[in-house]
Amino acid sequence: MLGFLDGLKITLKTAGRKPVTAEYPAPDKRLDVQPRYMGFPALTWDGDVGEPYCTGCMVCIRNCPTQCMSAKMQDNPLHAEGKSRRRKIIDEFEINLARCILCGICVDVCNFDAIEMSHEHELSKYERNGNRADLPALLDMGKKYQQATAWQPKQPEKNSGVPPPPKALPKAVPPETSPDKPAPIELVVVSREAVERRNAVMRERAAERERESRGSTDHSAGSGQPSSRTESDD
């Protein structure tokens, strides 16, 4: 009898609750996803530099259990201009979302905070290969996720693309001199090329002096008086 009353109590208590289901696909009745919800993977964007965090290192591709990713890297033009610390940057990136199992391994193995599991989950297509997301689509998904969650990189100092400020050169301080304390001897560092050029010039000058001295000796020998003939020569 007591068990029946306990069950009836739970039934009456539940009957007064509001419905927890949502009508799909009505946009105004959809439930918000949780912050830790794992949707499709997306690439993050470094707004301080204006380029993706991804450098195309291929670690996520090698560790993907379904091999649904492909990528191609290139030399970063912003690094050549001195505007980014990233020597390499992603050129092409594609994920076949139809094969992705949302395991999150790509996020765990990434060393550059370049990929995150976004909140995107409604990407149905009519074609078998219609869910191939290219680089612009993945970056759009990532920007939307970063804005919605106020995303920050896990290692900002390591993975930031902002180049370090140039180091200031130390100011030259003239040495203090006095009669008791003479000026220190400054060592001049000369490159090997300069030393070789100096040695070549010295060798040329020595050879020229030797030629001049040899020429003067020959001239003095040629200008001497010929020897007189002896009687035996007659």
pLDDT tens sequence across 129-139: 889 999 999 99
Residue 231's pLDDT is what? 45
Q: Where are the alpha helices (DSSP H) in 99-168?
A: 105-109, 135-149, 156-159
151-199 confidence digits (pLDDT tens): 999 999 899 999 888 777 777 776 666 666 666 666 666 677 878 888 8
- 193 vs 216: CA distance, rounded Å: 35
Distance, CA of 147 to CA of 167 (rounded, Å)? 34
Q: Round the average pLDDT of the chain to a whole number and report it.
A: 84
CA distance 234 to 222: 25
The full set of domains in the chain, from first to last, is: 30-158 (3.30.70.3270)
